[in-house]
Every structure is written in structure tokens, then in C-alpha cells.
Amino acid sequence: MTTHRELRDELGRLSTETHRSELAELDRLPTLEIAALMNGEDATVPAAVAARLPQIAAAIDATADRMARGGRLVYAGAGTAGRLGVLDASECPPTFNTDPDQVVGLIAGGPEAMVAAVEGAEDRADLAEADLRALGLTSQDTVVGISASGRTPYAVGAVTFARGRGALTIGLSGNAGSPLAAAAEHGIEIVTGPELLTGSTRLKAGTAQKLVLNMLSTVTMIRLGKTYGNLMVDVRASNEKLRARSRRIVALATGAPDEAIEAALNATGGEVKNAVLTLLADVDAATATRLLAASGGRLRDALDAARR
């Protein structure tokens, strides 16, 4: 078992935990100056992400390949990292009309850990294994372990167990040479350096994680045909704002007049992708449904098939 001193020394070697002596008087500075310092720190994050784009792209292509064969995307992390995974997963159903079980966020300690710390949960790799077993993890799935330190037992345990089951594994870490990246098939280490507040990895490291998760889920969904150009044609219109957005997307995709757009959406039960296909290919709703099913839901492929 790691002693308190050993753990302290281990943390001291992590770039995310490094103390910046030049900021020792931070609390004495004017508010505007502190805000400017923080903004300047945040501005360095995109460059750190850009440095790892080849690794991110490779992970996305591998994820999309598994999901195209029916696999799921599973995020696993503790604390801020776990919350970011749950957030990204929860945004996929309304944005891309995915099944709630298709993109899943696991956080050490369970749902209550979203709003309150669950003592010791992040230190238990066995909890990650239990959570993945409960999901019925298969070799078609993708598991993304998320940890700023790159050493969180829950995240490392999730990736280790998943890889042993033949699942695709991705390790997203904020430190170089991390156990998490080493355990995963695809290691992505976004090194953003010491935080404004020593060890507060919800800051730059958390921002980097959010950017990468945005990229991972969004580009994967683009690869799966969930968009038409940059239009969210699989959006789920579950409220008035999204219903208005649906109409606007159909208008942008087709250039059709309002009356035709309303008729198409009514005929297709509000399904944007189907409505676009009826208008662009001049087919009825039933034919649009058949063409989309035959093309795996890819609108461009369905359009090509309709025009042949």
C-alpha cells in the first residue's frame, strides 16, 4: 500500500500538481489581474490539444469503427473527469438522437458523485470493473478512461479491465508518461502544465478534457453519418427551441419554403433527416425511411441511392 509520504512525493512529480512560486501572492492581486492571468492560462489549452490531434484522430476512427458495428462509447473517470464524461454522454441523445445506452458516462461513486464527493471511490479499481460488468461490456465497446493525473485507480482500472475483455481502450491524461495512457490502446496525454491554483485540475486540465471529449463524440458522430455537412440532421426535437431548430436545419439543407418544410416534418413524424430526404430526393416518407434504413442512417448515401 502506498504511504502518505510516497503519495505526496508521487503527486509532486506530476506537472498538473507543480507549485508555481511566482503566484505565491496571487490572492493579493486585483481581481482584474487575477482574471487576466486565468484567461491567459486558459488560452494555452487549445495548443496543447492541437499537439495531440494525430492521436485523437486515430482514437476517433477506431471508436467510430466499433460503434458502426453496434458498440457503445463508455467514459469512466472520477471527480471532475468523471463529471465531464457524464456531461458529454448526456448531450449525445438530444444532439445526435442516440439511444441513452449508446454513449454512457461512469463516475466513481455512482450518480451521487456528480454533486458530492464520494470518499475513496476514485481509489478503487474494483469499482470500475464492477461498473463495467454491470453494463455487460463487450469487445465491440470503447472505454475511455479520463484522469488529469493519469494515475487514478478507477480510470486505470476501467481501461485495464476493458482491454482484457477485448474492448477498444482510450486513456485521456493530463500528464506525460501516465499509467493510464500506458494501459490503453490509444493513449492521449494533453499536458497543460501547472495550474493557476496548485493541483486544481478542474481548471486547465479539465478544460483540455472537455475539448477532447467534445471532439471524440462529435467527430465520431460525424463519421457515423449523424450529420449532413455541418447540420445536426439527427437532432431530437424534444422542446420548442429544438423544434424551431429542426425547421431551420431542414430549410438550410433544402432551401424549401416553409409550407413544404412543415409538410415534410409532419409526414415524417418530425424526423429531420427523413424530412430532408423527402424534399431533396422528391420521395414520400415511407420511401425515405426505407432508403435511410438501407444506408445505415447516412443521409448522403440515401440521397445517392434515391438518385440512381
The conformational region for residue 228 under phi > 0 = left, psi -120 to 50 = alpha, else beta, is beta
The conformational region for residue 282 under phi > 0 = left, psi -120 to 50 = alpha, else beta, is left
3-state secondary structure 34-88: HHHHHHHHHCCHHHHHHCCHHHHHHHHHHHHHHHHCCCCEEEEECHHHHHHHHHH
Task: Determine whether 119 is an active site residue.
Answer: no
In degrees rounded to 5, what are phi and psi of residue 269? 70, 25
CA distance 47 to 158: 28
Contacts of 75 (CB under 8 A, 6+ apart): 82, 84, 85, 86, 88, 89, 103, 104, 105, 106, 144, 146, 213
DSSP state of 231: B
CA distance 7 to 55: 30
From 41, 91, 185, 262, the catalytic residue: 91
CA distance 81 to 155: 9
CA distance 18 to 263: 60
From 25, 112, 122, 195, the catalytic residue: 122
Which uninterrupted H or E stretch holds 223?
A: helix 204-223
- Degrees to nearest 5, angle at CA 168 with 71 and 121: 95
CB-based contact 137:106 (threshold 8 Å): no
User: How many C-beta atoms surround the C-beta of residue 31 within 10 A?
Assistant: 7
Task: Determine whether 122 is an active site residue.
Answer: yes
The residues annotated with a catalytic role in the active site are: 91, 122
